[in-house]
């Protein structure tokens, strides 16, 4: 199937620094530098410390010294442009930065060693001072653990005494990275109209991306989320550039011909991973609607073309909503947002300086799909929610990063609904998160939301926590709790929680206790008692109900039917029937029970988990399934919209797990022929994708396409006039449906659709400059036209991709280029991902994954990924492995995957490879068992068709 164009809020941090972080690595201590004692007036230090330093067993800093404030000066030597003039010595671009910092700390526990983080920095001139006496303290020696802990250890002659205040000064130098890590360089082009000939010139900027553990690559620091401190920053930068940071500018002046000095106000107390600054030639638009000054920065060309206007406007609304909803102010006097040409995650919530990929912030009237506003609003709402959840109240440690990410996703539903009610986005994004979480969390290799601390120590393990479970399950579990205790109670609990812990760090139990205390009346089960089942255990339950005798039981849901688990959950259940009102029961952790409520009367169906508020799947006896599916065919509106989508999703996934017949799943798609709402279609498309992946290289493909063509025909016709005229319906949900109709119809070979797409694309190729395809329809039409076309269409799209300065248009084209059916074109496209001037490094993973999604590109992408692993794995290696192996369903592919695992050893994205192996095994089994039945079903359904 063609790729869905929805950007997912996905991984906030994706750069997989798969450092080998075994504790063993720490034993190989390396002397990183010698103390330059001469200018420091201290006794000559030994070149190394005695090997009695305790290797920190859990890679964690000791808590003997606690930082309070940093005073940092950083000077990036990068040029923002390279001026080529005959006589002037043209500066070579330089990727060096230098700086110095003083950290002020106090002592908790007597010690003679300062442990802090530092990685890939060259450090000199340590200078320790006792602030209480004003005296300098002599340094004995210092060393750097390069592997593993990434600690810098400084030993002093005198000891630090509990209650005492001290400071440590260090000078450092490092490299601005060119692979989007830590402080990195980003390159873009600008059209220069000043000269007689219009020229396109290169521009450079430096930006930071520090979550979770890269602050230590910028300056030596106590780089753990609960070591919060105030940051005073000075940036010395090139004269023609602007420096932005977390806090507002305090003062600035020109130093000389080359340099400018900018000092920022002190930040609030915050975690190191939120530290940020950017040096660029960017310009801004400013919102005047808000108490807080909101600036949106972007390339000057994008600002001039007003591409940042939508983001600016919507940000003001969202920020105001949160301030009211949380009853707590944002915490800084200004909020800067910046659209960066390169950024590894989609966006990063640095307090006061939120960074975005351009596609997540810029909106181009007449070019961007109208639906792209939903993406922008959702991402902004997610990042702004972090200004409270994460920035003001932070998890103690990365094992509970879901307290940041789950809340940000959950709050974004509310904020988007408030800022753009016409989007009606709540249901769509909720189901999206629910299905995303359900899918990953059904694997044996899944992890609890609140992971045990011992598994989250090394940077690679910390990065591994930024996955679908953390984001999507986190949001779903919060939604379940909110529905259960009531939104009023939940909201007032949240307000108390934020007020109580602002500026501090929390564990999830702090949250549960506060919400419990906000309840007016106590329930049979307390919030902490309820939530421990959902957050400290991996996976989720499927409950099975027999409506003949009312029996109900639960077990953990696995795709792998051989997997066993004894886990149980405490489950709040809402249910409804065709003859009664919604009602509630508890299912507790004991074995099967019979409940009167679940015995159906004659002709009665029972629907469990109304509006999908519970994080579990539901299975019924065949008779109840049949009644529900009958209802869908006769009068679907009696079943709530979200459940219409969910019934399909449950049926398909239960079939995948072999708990119902696959024919039941297929039967659940019959009612779609009359369905006009987006959610059920979306759910079907998503689930059928698995059928496409498993069967699009087999004889099942023909009858399956025929069936879907038939199912979607009426929907396609419903929008046909609009589509032919390149117009779109009014409401957003129908706009989504229109796109789904075209996508399904074309990709399943409906001739009218393919003709429509190729004609529209050919018109564009002919007129070249004027593109009359409606922005909403561009993505799907480009893809279908490239799929139906050959070299000419592909190269036209490629030319447009290279020449377009519009972020949205580029994205649409980049995706369409992966839709070709010609392997040589796909192969060449893959090769292009190795050249950052063609495909930006941040887009490499998704481009390869897009090619892999295409049946014609599957094998190419897998081979390509392995052949160029070192380069392509610089992106999100886990997502890459996941994407490229999704179609794997043969023994041969399994063997290749195992070999890949051996080659990678522990340096690869091991969790992702494990999951791919597990998924492939499941797929092999599934195809073996289902191919014949599925083929027969599709053949029977389509026997009466052409």
Ligand X SMILES: *[C@@H]1O[C@H](CO)[C@@H](O)[C@H](O)[C@H]1NC(C)=O
Which residues contact residue 634 at a Cβ distance below 8 angstroms, ignoring those fewer than 6 apart? none
Query: Measured between alpha carbons, how far is 636 from 578 in angstroms, rounded to an integer?
Result: 11
State which of residues 90, 634, 759, 823 lies at the interface with ligand X (CB under 6 A).
90
**Among Zn ion, ligand X, none, residue 57 binds (CB under 5-8 Å by kind):** none
Task: Find out whether 935 and 909 touch, Cβ atoms under 8 Å.
Answer: no
Choose the one of ligand X, Zn ion, none that binds residue 566, judging by a C-beta under 5 to 8 angstroms depending on kind. Answer: none
> Between residues 522 and 581, which has the closer beta carbon with respect to ligand X?
581
382 is in an annotated binding site: yes
Q: Report the site for ligand X in 575-604 (rule: CB under 6 A).
A: 582
Q: In what order do the strands lie in the sheet with 111-117?
A: 111-117, 151-160, 139-144
Q: Which residues within the stretch 5-24 sit at the binding site for Zn ion (CB under 5 A)? A: 12
CA-CA-CA-CA dihedral for 924, 926, 931, 936, to nearest 10: 180
- In this structure, what is the dihedral angle of CA atoms 507, 510, 512, 518, given to the nearest 10 degrees? -160
Distance of closest approach, residue 718 Cβ to Zn ion, in angstroms: 37
Residue 336 beta carbon to ligand X: minimum distance, rounded to whole angstroms = 25
Quickly list DSSP for 380-434: HHHHHHHTTBTTTBEESSGGGTHHHHHHHHHHHHHHHHHH-GGG-HHHHHHHHHH
| Residue-wise burial string across 543-580, b where 16 or more C-beta atoms lie within 10 A, e elsewhere | bbbbbeebbbbbbbbbbbeebeeeebbbbbbbbbbbee
Q: Which is nearer to Zn ion, 343 or 913 (CB)?
A: 343
Choosing among Zn ion, ligand X, none, which partner's interface includes residue 546 (Cβ < 5 to 8 Å by kind)? Answer: ligand X
Q: How far lies 594's CA from each of 197, 557, 573, in Å?
A: 82, 21, 14
Relative orientation angle of helices 527-535 and 474-485, to the nearest 10 degrees: 160
Choice between 224 and 405, CB closer to Zn ion: 405
Cα–Cα dist 735/801, whole Å: 25
Residues numbered 176-215 forming contacts with Zn ion, rule: CB under 5 A: none
If DSSP codes are grouped into helix, strand and coil, which group holds residue 101?
Answer: strand
Smallest separation, CB 246 to ligand X (Å): 20
Q: Which residues contact 432 (CB under 8 A, 6 or more apart)?
A: 6, 8, 472
H/E run at residue 712: helix 701-724
- For residues 319 and 384, is the Cβ–Cβ distance under 8 A? yes
Q: How far is the CB of 621 from ligand X (least distance, A)?
A: 4
Closer to Zn ion by Cβ: residue 272 or 518:
272
Q: How far apart are CA 648 and CA 554, in angstroms?
A: 20
Is 483 annotated as catalytic? no
**Residue 195 annotated as binding site:** no
Q: Among ligand X, Zn ion, none, what does residue 12 contact (CB within 5–8 Å per kind)?
A: Zn ion
| Percentages (nearest 5) of helix, strand, coil residues in the chain | 45, 20, 35
Decide if 355 contacts 338 (C-beta within 8 A).
yes
Burial (CB < 10 A; 0-12, 13-18, 19+), residue 352, is buried
What contacts 24+ positions apart, CB below 8 Å, involve 592-599?
592/551, 592/552, 592/553, 593/551, 593/552, 593/553, 594/549, 594/550, 594/551, 594/552, 595/550, 595/552, 596/550, 597/550, 598/545, 598/546, 598/547, 598/550, 598/551, 598/552, 599/547, 599/548, 599/549, 599/550
Q: Report how many residues bind Zn ion under the rule CB under 5 A.
A: 3
Shortest reach from residue 610's CB to ligand X, in Å:
4
The verdict on 408 binding Zn ion (CB under 5 A) reads yes
349 vs 806 by CB, closer to Zn ion: 349
Tell me which residues in 17-76 interact with ligand X (CB under 6 A): 73, 75
- Of 39, 87, 770, 772, the one binding ligand X by CB under 6 A: 87
CB 826 within 8 A of CB 857: yes
- Taking CB within 5 to 8 Å according to partner kind, which of Zn ion, ligand X, none is near residue 376? none
> Regarding beta strands 230-238 and 65-76, do their DSSP bridges make them parallel or antiparallel, or are they unpaired?
parallel
Report the C-alpha gap between 573 and 541 in whole angstroms: 12
Binders of ligand X among residues 634 to 663 (CB under 6 A) are: 640
Find the binding residues for Zn ion in span 101-130 (CB under 5 A): none
- Min. distance of Cβ 259 from ligand X in angstroms? 10
Secondary structure tally for the chain: helices H, strands E: 29, 29
- Shortest spacing between CB 599 and ligand X, in angstroms: 10
Q: How many residues bind ligand X (CB under 6 A)?
A: 17
Q: Please, which residue, 287 or 409, has the CB nearer to Zn ion? A: 409
Q: Which does 28 bind (CB under 5 to 8 A by kind): Zn ion, ligand X, none?
A: none
Residues whose CB falls within 8 Å of the CB of residue 837, separated by 6 or more in sequence, listed in order: none
Enter the DSSP assignment of 469.
I
Q: Does 205 sit near ligand X (CB under 6 A)?
A: no
Backbone angles phi, psi at 235, to 5 degrees: -115, 130
What's the Rg (C-alpha) of the chain? 29
**Distance between CA atoms of 917 and 904, rounded to whole angstroms?**
14
Window of 81-89, 334-342, 433-441, 918-926 that interacts with ligand X by CB under 6 A = 81-89
From CA 869, how far away is CA 885, in angstroms rounded?
14
Q: Angle between the 508-517 and 487-501 helix axes, to the nearest 10 degrees?
A: 130
Instruction: Supply the minimum distance, in Å, between the C-beta of residue 12 and Zn ion.
Output: 4
Asked if 136 touches ligand X (CB under 6 A), the answer is no
Stretch that binds ligand X, among 86-94, 133-141, 689-697, 884-892 (CB under 6 A): 86-94
Question: Which of positions 672-691 make contact with ligand X (CB under 6 A)?
Answer: none
Q: Considering only the stretches 284-292, 406-414, 658-666, 710-718, report the one whose residues sit in contact with Zn ion under the rule CB under 5 A.
A: 406-414
* Spatial contact of 553 and 583, defined as CB atoms under 8 Å apart: no
Q: Looking at beta carbons only, is 227 or 408 nearer to Zn ion?
A: 408
- Closer residue to Zn ion, CB minimum distance, 72 or 339: 339
Pick the piece of the chain touching Zn ion (CB under 5 A) from 190-198, 402-410, 704-712, 887-895. Answer: 402-410
The nearest distance, CB 408 to Zn ion, in angstroms, is: 4
If binding is defined by CB under 5 A, does position 469 make contact with Zn ion? Answer: no
- Residues 92-111 close enough to bind ligand X by CB under 6 A: 92, 100
Residues 239-268 interacting with Zn ion (rule: CB under 5 A): none
Nearer to ligand X, 510 or 621 (CB): 621
Phi, psi torsion values for 223, nearest 5 degrees: -90, 60
What letter would DSSP give residue 472? I
Residue 408 binds which entry of ligand X, Zn ion, none, with Cβ cut-offs from 5 to 8 Å by kind? Answer: Zn ion
Residue 201 belongs to what H/E stretch? Answer: strand 199-209
Q: Which of residues 517-556 bind ligand X (CB under 6 A)?
A: 546, 548-549
Stretch that binds Zn ion, among 199-207, 284-292, 397-405, 441-449 (CB under 5 A): 397-405
Q: Which residues between 583 and 622 bind Zn ion (CB under 5 A)? A: none
* Partner that binds at residue 611, options ligand X, Zn ion, none, CB closer than 5 to 8 Å by kind: ligand X
86 binds ligand X (CB under 6 A): yes
Taking the complex as a whole, how short is the minimal distance between the CB of residue 383 and Zn ion, in angstroms? 7
User: Pattern 604-623, binding to ligand X, x per CB under 6 A?
Assistant: ------xx---------x--
- Whole-number minimum distance, CB 253 to ligand X, in Å? 14
- Catalytic one among 358, 383, 420, 451? 383
Q: Is 435 annotated as a binding residue?
A: no
Query: Based on CB atoms, which residue is closest to Zn ion, 12 or 665?
Result: 12
Going by the annotation, the residues of the binding site are 382, 386, 405
Residue ranges that bind Zn ion, judged by CB under 5 A: 12, 405, 408
Q: Which residues define the annotated binding site for Zn(2+)?
A: 382, 386, 405
Residues with active-site annotation: 383
Binding site for ligand X (CB under 6 A): 73, 75, 86-87, 89-90, 92, 100, 546, 548-549, 574, 582, 610-611, 621, 640
């Amino acid at each position: 199937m063609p790729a869905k164009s929805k950007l997912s809020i996905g991984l906030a941090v994706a750069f997989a620094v798969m450092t080998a972080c075994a504790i063993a690595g720490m034993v190989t201590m390396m002397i990183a530098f010698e103390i330059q004692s001469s200018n420091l007036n201290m006794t000559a230090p030994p070149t190394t410390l005695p090997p009695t330093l305790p290797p920190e067993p859990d890679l964690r800093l000791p808590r003997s010294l606690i930082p309070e404030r940093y005073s940092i000066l950083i000077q990036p030597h990068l040029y923002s442009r390279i001026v080529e003039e005959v006589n002037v010595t043209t500066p070579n671009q330089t990727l060096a930065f230098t700086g110095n910092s003083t950290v002020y700390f106090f002592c908790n526990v007597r010690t003679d060693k300062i442990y802090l983080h530092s990685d890939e920095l060259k450090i000199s001139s340590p200078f320790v001072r006792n602030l209480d006496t004003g005296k300098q303290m002599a340094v004995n020696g210092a060393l750097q653990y390069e592997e593993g802990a990434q600690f810098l250890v400084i030993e002093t002659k005198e000891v630090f005494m509990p209650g005492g205040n001290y400071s440590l000064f260090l000078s450092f130098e490092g490299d601005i990275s060119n692979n989007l890590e830590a402080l990195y360089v980003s390159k873009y082009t600008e059209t220069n109209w000043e000269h007689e000939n219009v020229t396109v010139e290169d521009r450079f900027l430096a930006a930071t991306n520090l979550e979770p553990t890269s602050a230590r690559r910028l300056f030596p620091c106590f780089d753990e989320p609960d070591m919060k401190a105030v940051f005073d920053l000075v940036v010395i930068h090139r004269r023609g550039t602007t420096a932005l940071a977390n806090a507002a500018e305090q003062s600035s002046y020109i130093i000389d011909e080359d340099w400018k000095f900018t000092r920022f106000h002190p930040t609030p107390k915050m975690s190191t991973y939120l530290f940020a600054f950017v040096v660029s030639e960017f310009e801004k638009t400013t919102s005047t609607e808000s108490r807080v000054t909101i600036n949106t920065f972007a390339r000057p060309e994008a600002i001039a073309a007003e591409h940042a206007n939508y983001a600016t406007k919507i940000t003001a609304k969202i920020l105001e909503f949160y301030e009211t909803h949380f009853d707590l102010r944002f915490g800084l006097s200004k909020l800067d947002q910046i659209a960066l040409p390169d950024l590894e995650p989609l966006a990063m919530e640095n307090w006061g300086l939120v960074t975005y990929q351009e596609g997540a912030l810029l909106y181009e009237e007449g070019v961007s799909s109208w639906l792209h506003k939903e993406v922008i609003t959702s991402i902004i709402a997610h990042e702004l929610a972090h200004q409270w959840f994460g920035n003001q109240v932070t998890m103690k440690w990365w094992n509970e990063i879901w307290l940041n990410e789950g809340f940000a996703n959950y709050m974004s539903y509310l904020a988007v609904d408030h800022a753009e009610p016409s989007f009606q986005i709540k249901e769509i994004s909720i189901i999206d998160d629910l299905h995303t979480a359900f899918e990953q969390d059904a694997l044996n290799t899944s992890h609890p939301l609140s992971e045990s601390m011992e598994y989250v120590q090394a940077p690679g393990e910390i990065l591994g926590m930024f996955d679908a479970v953390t984001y999507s399950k986190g949001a779903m579990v919060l939604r379940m709790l909110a529905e259960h205790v009531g939104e009023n109670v939940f909201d007032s609990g949240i307000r108390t929680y934020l007020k109580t812990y602002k500026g501090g760090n929390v564990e999830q139990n702090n949250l549960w206790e506060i919400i419990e205390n906000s309840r007016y009346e106590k329930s049979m089960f307390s919030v902490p008692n309820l939530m421990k089942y959902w957050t400290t255990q991996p996976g989720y339950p499927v409950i099975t109900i027999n409506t003949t005798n009312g029996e109900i039981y639960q077990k953990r849901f696995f795709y792998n039917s051989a997997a066993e688990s004894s886990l149980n959950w405490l489950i709040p259940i809402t249910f409804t029937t065709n003859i009664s009102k919604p009602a509630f029961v508890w299912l507790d952790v004991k074995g099967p029970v019979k409940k009167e409520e679940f015995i159906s009367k004659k002709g009665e169906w029972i629907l469990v988990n109304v509006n999908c508020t519970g994080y579990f799947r539901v299975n019924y006896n065949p008779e109840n399934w049949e009644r529900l599916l009958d209802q869908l065919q006769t009068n679907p509106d009696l079943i709530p919209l979200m459940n219409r989508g969910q019934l399909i999703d449950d049926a398909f996934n239960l079939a995948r797990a072999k708990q119902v017949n696959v024919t039941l799943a297929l039967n659940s798609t019959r009612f779609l022929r009359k369905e006009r709402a987006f959610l059920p279609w979306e759910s079907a498309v998503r689930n059928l994708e698995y059928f496409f992946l498993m069967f699009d290289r087999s004889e099942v493909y023909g009858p399956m396409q025929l069936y879907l063509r038939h199912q979607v025909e009426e929907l396609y016709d419903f929008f046909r006039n609009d589509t032919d005229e390149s117009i779109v319906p009014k409401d957003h949900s129908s706009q989504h449906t229109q796109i789904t109709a075209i996508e399904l119809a074309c990709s399943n070979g409906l001739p009218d659709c393919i003709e429509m797409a190729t004609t529209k694309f050919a018109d564009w190729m002919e007129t070249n400059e004027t593109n009359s395809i409606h922005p909403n329809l561009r993505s799907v039409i480009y893809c279908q036209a490239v799929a139906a076309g050959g070299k000419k269409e592909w190269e036209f799209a490629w030319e447009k991709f290279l020449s377009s300065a519009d972020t949205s248009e580029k994205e649409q084209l980049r995706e369409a280029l992966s839709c070709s059916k010609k392997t040589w074109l796909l192969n060449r496209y893959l090769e292009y991902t190795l050249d950052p001037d063609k495909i930006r490094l941040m887009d490499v993973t998704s481009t390869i994954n897009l090619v892999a999604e295409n049946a014609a590109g599957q094998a190419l992408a897998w081979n390509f990924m392995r052949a160029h692993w070192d380069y392509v794995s610089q992106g999100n290696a886990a997502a890459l492995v996941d994407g490229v192996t999704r179609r794997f369903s043969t023994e041969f592919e399994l063997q290749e995957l195992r070999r890949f695992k051996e080659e990678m050893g522990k340096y690869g994205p091991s969790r992702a490879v494990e999951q791919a192996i597990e998924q492939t095994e499941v797929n092999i089994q599934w195809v073996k068992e289902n191919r014949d039945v599925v083929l027969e079903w599709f053949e029977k359904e389509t026997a009466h068709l052409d």
